[in-house]
Structure 1
């Protein structure tokens, strides 16, 4: 039996954190299946506080960090729980993460790194604290103290500019091109690409691709009866083949397999929380 819990951030972190979530599986799984992490449009820190996880690679497996910072993704990875599942995550807003982590976000694309590797002793202390706390609320309170201590508001003008761009981008379901977004931001295309990648971690074209995919998944979850051609038409793809190819490239699944998996996955809830639908 699984138990999911969600909580929004405190007011001071509302522009930086989207939400926190925790998953506990009550039963030990002796032969767990790998879980596929697909592009989600955000960065997050995940604490695996029960049995360890492994990363599934083409040439074998390797141990996964107990406290992992996931960068923006344009491709998928597979992780494998080795027993009883327990994890806690903080999901950052697409723009706000920079003022908390103080890292070059574009160097974290498609990477997962231990919190200790990027934050040193501070990251290791946070990992140990998450391992020792018992309840969801205790973990959230500990995380918020940690995040507030790291929060440094730097360029509020550019922060607000990028937040406005992100709001517009999400409202239009990614059906913009880079030139339109640059114009909305009152920047040249080259300036916009530089600022966007600094604050979000992906180039605008890469991010638009991810957002269109997420809206396609969300649309299909709401209307499971629609066929692929209709779904493509409503979510900004040229045709069904274009959408099917994008799903395969971003998730490694066929469209039919992905939609079947999403019906039974917490990822569907995660997408809805992120898109605000």
Structure 2
């Protein structure tokens, strides 16, 4: 048995949260979840068994997943009962007290953040069985933390929109859009997003490939390269391998493409049973 639900945040939090993902399985069959760079940050609460990071040991029970630049696999051989908060690229910033750069390519245990209120929320979520009640508690916690986000947040949010809408924009143009010098822009962007602007641009370009292939899986690689801002198809294939661990052809032969970053709806195609 598997239950997978998407729930959306209240209007006041929709600027920060993309959606909540509730996943439950009964543990009859092993579950494989592939992780790829999404351009988003996650806060995850495991109320059942936590997942094994292939070749690296177990995930923390409750953790923040920062920006990732690498793919991986998570494996479960037990019961999953998980609530994940999928934040927009900058969305976690107002709610935790650490730079996003400290979360890069890491699953950071909630306890390691040394945040008493967040640890209290963790205990509430772990003891409450009803997912909807848990999300109400999560939203109450987040609403209490919502403060003035400041000029830099607005600047970098504008830059991310530019990256999303114009796939061939260079870093100098992004810095000018933010009204910042190049070095200052790179520092602030990395602090707020969790990786440097050039690397993040590549992640979003990869997400654009997935988004284009969602509805057009037969699209020629030459057309795909042009629309996604690559020099040529070989450049596209190189980046795709870097972020997914396989070529676009191999990827399409085993799963349906889905972009966490660009998609408005939510299709959960990364879960496989073996």
Flag whether TM exceeds 0.5 (same fold): yes
- How do 1:79-90 residues align onto structure 2 when only pairs under 5 Å count? 79-90=74-85
Unpaired segments of 5 or more residues in structure 1?
Answer: none
Of 251, 260, 263, the residue aligned with 2:253 is 260
Tell me what 2:33 maps to: 35
> Aligned with 2:60: secondary structure?
coil
Matches for 1:72-83 after TM superposition, within 5 Å: 72-83=67-78
**Counterpart contact for 1:217–1:259, Cα < 8 Å:** no
1:142 is matched with which residue: 116, 128, 137? 137
CA distance in 2, matches of 1:64, 1:215: 28
1:168 and 2:158 matched:
no
Cα distance between partner residues in 2 of 1:7 and 1:178: 35
Inter-partner Cα distance in structure 2 for 1:211 and 1:261: 22
TM-score of the superposed pair, with normalisation by structure 2: 0.88
Deviation at 1:235, TM superposition (A): 1.0
**Which is further off, 61-70 or 118-127?**
118-127
Per the normalisation by structure 1, the TM-score is 0.87
Which has the larger displacement, 137-146 or 210-219?
137-146
Which residue of 1 is the match for residue 108 of structure 2?
A: 113
Matched residue, 1:183:
176
> Runs of at least 4 residues of structure 1 off by over 4 A?
none
Q: Is the CA contact (8 Å cut-off) linking 2:207 and 2:262 kept in structure 1?
A: no
* Equivalent position of 1:270 in the other structure: 260
CA RMSD of aligned residues (A): 2.2
Query: What SS does structure 2 have at the residue aligned with 1:21?
Result: strand
Deviations 1:26-64 (A, max 9, x none): x4234x25322110001111112222311212xxx5222
Q: Deviations over 1:74-105 (max 9, x none)?
A: 11232211222222111122123211112121
In structure 1, distance between residues paired with 2:253 and 2:16? 32
Structure 1 residue 250 corresponds to structure 2 residue 226? no
- How many matched pairs? 266
